[in-house]
Chain A
Amino acid sequence: GESVGLHLPTLSVQEGDNSIINCAYSNSASDYFIWYKQESGKGPQFIIDIRSNMDKRQGQRVTVLLNKTVKHLSLQIAATQPGDSAVYFCAENMDGGSQGNLIFGKGTKLSVKP
């Protein structure tokens, strides 16, 4: 089975609120994690990534947190907007970087209410 999964399959938030999307992984050897956003009918779009030697990384309106102790990854979206509505996937690299193959979770659907 997949080692990367998500706690919640769907998440509904009010426009302007902050969103938190969670992801669990099982392979403690994974050293690289990525969040992707996928809008309906489109390919996954890179959002942010983080190495295992970091516990936090920030981008524009997004923050990824990594807790290696409990093997947990989260994506925080500040001031969620209708354009953030999509399915969000976390992915991990399990090859130690040698090949760069990714294992994806099943995804969380984020719906933003106006």
Chain B
Amino acid sequence: NAGVTQTPKFQVLKTGQSMTLQCAQDMNHEYMSWYRQDPGMGLRLIHYSVGAGITDQGEVPNGYNVSRSTTEDFPLRLLSAAPSQTSVYFCASRPSGSDRVTQYFGPGTRLTVL
């Protein structure tokens, strides 16, 4: 299994541009999530999904959209990039049908908005 994969690894955007961060997992995990990590801070939850067709907001959802059309993929869309969205973005997943909530993370996408 490749686990959780994310593309691209690095991205530079100009203010106002839009883009999609890709996340995929091949472990048949129902739960997937997106976090952002800023310097000196822990990870903050942006959006999450408990299964295909179901998404919900996390702690910092503004400026981001998600969709979950398949179990494998959970893309994160920036509608109109702002410098405040400069961050490292991590996607994570965990299996369903388990009482453990440990999530497994991808390698991250480092985004810079100029």
Contact = CB atoms under 8 A, between A and B. Distances in A.
Interface of A: 2, 4, 32, 34, 36, 41-46, 49, 89, 91, 93, 97, 99-107
B104 A100 contact: no
A105 B94 CA distance: 20
A99 B54 CA distance: 12
Given A99-B48, A99-B50, A101-B33, A32 B100 contact: yes
Given A44-B43, A107-B42, 11 more contacts: A2-B42, A41-B108, A49-B102, A93-B101, A99-B48, A99-B50, A100-B50, A101-B33, A106-B40, A106-B41, A106-B42
11 contacts: A34-B101, A36-B105, A45-B105, A46-B104, A89-B43, A91-B43, A93-B101, A97-B101, A99-B56, A102-B103, A106-B42
Contacts of A104: 35, 42-44
Contacts of A93: 101
Interface of B is mostly: strand
Nearest to A96: B101
Interface string B25-60: 000000101010000111111001010000010100
- List 5 A-B pairs, minimum CB-CB distance, nearest first: A104-B42, A43-B105, A100-B101, A104-B43, A93-B101
A45 B106 CA distance: 9
Contacts of B74: none
Given A44-B105, A46-B104, A93-B101, A100 B31 contact: yes
A32 B106 contact: no
A99 B58 CA distance: 11
Nearest to B42: A104
Nearest to B43: A104
Given A49-B102, A101-B58, A42 B107 contact: yes
A102 B45 contact: yes
A43 B90 contact: yes
Given A45-B105, A104-B44, A97 B90 contact: no
